[in-house]
Each structure stands twice: as C-alpha cells, then as structure tokens.
Amino acid sequence: MPFGEIVCGSPGSGKSTYCYGKYQLFTALKRPISVVNLDPANDSIPYPCAIDISSLITLQDVMETHGLGPNGGMLYCMEYLEENFDWLEERLKELGNDAYVLFDLPGQVELSTNHESIKKIVDKLGKAGFRLATVHLCDAHYITDASKYVSMLLLSLRAMLHLELPHINVLSKIDLLSQYGELDFNLDFYTEVQDLTYLENALNASLPPKYAALNMAMISLVEDFSLVGFETLAVEDKNSMMHLTRAIDRATGYIFVPPADAPAPPDTIDRSDAAPSARPNMFSLFSTAAGPLKDPGGDVREVQERWIDYRDIYDAHEKKMWRKEGEMVRDEAANLKAGSKVRERKP
Ligand SMILES: Nc1nc2c(ncn2[C@@H]2O[C@H](COP(=O)(O)OP(=O)(O)OP(=O)(O)O)[C@@H](O)[C@H]2O)c(=O)[nH]1
Ligand SMILES: [Mg+2]
C-alpha cells in the first residue's frame, strides 16, 4: 500500500526545502521516497523529481494561452490536473506499491483551504489506495505577533477541515526564531494551543479595540474545535526531521522495516553485533510508530532551549563536534593509507 504526504502551506513556508530535506534523510536511512512536484510554477526544483506537473502543464503556458494572471493561472493548472488525474495515477503506479510519496504543493493557500481541485485529487489518491497525511507548514515567525498567530491558527484549522486527512501542522524555520526578538510566551504555549485567552493583552496592545475583539472571537472558535496543534521543524537538523517523521508515521500508520544493511537510526542503541535476522525488527521499532523512548528533538522545551534560549551555545558545540568528527574521519583515512603502504612494501 503506498503512503504519502500532502505538503502544503503559505508561499515561502519551506515546502520544497522540506521535501528535499526529507528526500536526503530517507535516502540515508534507506527508506523509500519519491517526490512529486505539483507546483507548475516551480522552475528551480531542489530535489530529484519522480513526477513533475510541468510535463503536463506549466503556469507560463496557461498565462500566455488564456490571458490569465499568475493566481488565476495556478487555479487553472490545478483544475487541469484534476481533469487529467489519470496522467498522475499512471505515473504513480510506476512507483510501485511500496512507494512513499511527497506531494509538493504550490503556495497559494486557497488551494488547501477553499478550492476544490486539490481536495478532489486527494480523494482520488485515497481511492487509488494511498494512505496520506497533510503536512501543513507555517513560517514560525508568525508566532512573534499575536494577531498573525491568530490568522495562522485559523488558516491551519481551515486546511484541516477542508482536506479531511490526518493532519500535522508544523512551525517551520524554527531555527530562525531567535532573530525576531523575545516571544511573549514560551514556545509550548504556541505549539500546544491550550489556553489562548492569554493572548488578550498582546492583542489589545497592538490592535484597535474592535479588531482585538474580533481576534478574541476567532480564538474562541479555534478553541471550540480543539483540533489545532503544532510540531516544529528546522529542516537541517536531523533530530528535528526525525521527530517530525515519527509524528507523521504515527498519523498515517506507516511502519517501516529497513533492509538489514540500513544504518541504525540516530540515537538508537548500537546492536550491529546482533544476528542479521534480529536487526530489521529492532530497527523498525525504533524508526516508526513507537520510536525510541527518548525522542531527541521531541520535547518542545528542548526545541526552545536549542533554537531560542541558547542557540549560539548549541551552534558552537555542534561546530566543535563536527570538526572533531571530520578530524577522526581524516585520521582514519590516513591510517588506512599508511597501513596499505606498509603492506605493499612487505615482500
Ligand atoms: N533557516 C531555514 N530556512 C529555511 C527552512 N526551510 C526553508 N527555508 C528557506 O526558506 C526559503 C523558502 O523555501 P521554499 O522551500 O522555497 O519554500 P516553498 O514553501 O516551497 O515556497 P513556494 O513554493 O514559493 O510557496 C528558502 O530560502 C529556504 O532555504 C528552515 O527550516 N530553516
Ligand atoms: Mg516550493
């Protein structure tokens, strides 16, 4: 049964970068992965693309042929893809039954909140046997402003209700958050979305009274649904990517059994001496739904410490560790070379 992710979010929230990061991580873990570009305006795709909508239709062609602007043209492209779903289905079938597919969507938010085409495509993918989750990326810098945070909550809720899939909201680019000054609350306040009435003071301070009241009404709407919460993501950080991967695996029910020669997932106990037949089970336990007991990058307080409170100290420590690792690899290579020269000299 093929699995996959519908990667959506506002323009520039990091969708394509996330797809590329996940491609690199999964390739290293020997997990299957294919990335499908569904953005007809994406002319510099960072990842190796298994299927590219540009071979069906491009935004440029639509704009020229139909005299549409970029936004109307984008909606046309999505409707065209919906009409020609068999084009996509045929190519997806070629990826096989065990495929894990990321669908990189365009950034127009109405595609995942109001417009029907993506919703219908998602439904058709479900009927074709895909087990999907939506991964909705939201730029973390919106949490630095109370009213922007409220609109982000509404957008996330809207996407959840519209696409009707298991849904993971993600605060992306969390590594940049420390640049935007102090947060009004700890990070867990924004990710757990528990008691939003605390935002009242911040909203009153920054908005005219009637808009503050409107924002409070929207907050109570979000709270009534009690659906929205966020994971965090720094795409270049392995722990952050692994934690998000586990959350998505839990949402889709994906269980990965790695090949016997796959490297152990980070932070698992090294059991390379175990019998080969024992390894896949052991690995799959640690790389999927259950995950390791201690999930590095999983606790939002650790994310706050790593990326907001002590980012410089952590960065300096990581740099030191990388340098050490580089020196070890270099020394090992030099020792190997020296050893082979000695062997060559022996009669
Ligand atoms: N620091 C940091 N930068 C990121 C991260 N993710 C993405 N970026 C940067 O954000 C910018 C936009 O990323 P894209 O991946 O193109 O965003 P997108 O959502 O695909 O954009 P559209 O397709 O135009 O909607 C790029 O400059 C990325 O390098 C992250 O986790 N950390
Ligand atoms: Mg993109």
Sequence-distant (6+) residues with CB within 8 A of 277 are: none
3-state secondary structure of 295: coil
Gap between the Cα atoms of 203 and 219, Å rounded:
11
Residue with more model confidence, 337 or 130:
130
Q: DSSP letters of 32-83?
A: --EEEE--TT--S--SPPSEEGGGT--HHHHHHHH---HHHHHHHHHHHHHH
In sequence order, the β-bridge partners of residue 34 are 101
The alpha-helical segments, DSSP class H, found in 207-252 are 209-225, 238-252
**Atom in ligand 1 nearest the alpha carbon of residue 17:** 15
- 73 pLDDT band, cuts 50/70/90, is very high
pLDDT of residue 272: 64
Residue 213, pLDDT above cutoff 50: yes
Task: Give the mutation target among 5, 13, 17 for probing the ligand 1 site: most ligand atoms within 8 A of CB.
Answer: 17
Q: Tell me, in angstroms, the distance from the centre of ligand 2 to residue 41's CA.
A: 9
Residue 30, pLDDT above cutoff 90: no
Note the pTM of the prediction, 2 decimals: 0.87
**Atom in ligand 1 nearest the alpha carbon of residue 20:** 15
Gap between the Cα atoms of 53 and 36, Å rounded:
8
Q: Tell me, in angstroms, the distance from the centre of ligand 1 to residue 178's CA.
A: 17
Q: Tell me, in angstroms, the distance from the centre of ligand 2 to residue 34's CA.
A: 16
Buried b (16+ CB within 10 A) or exposed e, 308-329: beebeeeeeeeeeeeeeeeeee
pLDDT of residue 286: 47
Q: For 53-64, what is each residue's pLDDT tens digit?
A: 999 999 999 999
Q: Which of 32-36, 220-224, 338-342 has the highest mean pLDDT?
A: 32-36
- 150 pLDDT band, cuts 50/70/90, is very high
Section 163-181 average pLDDT: 93
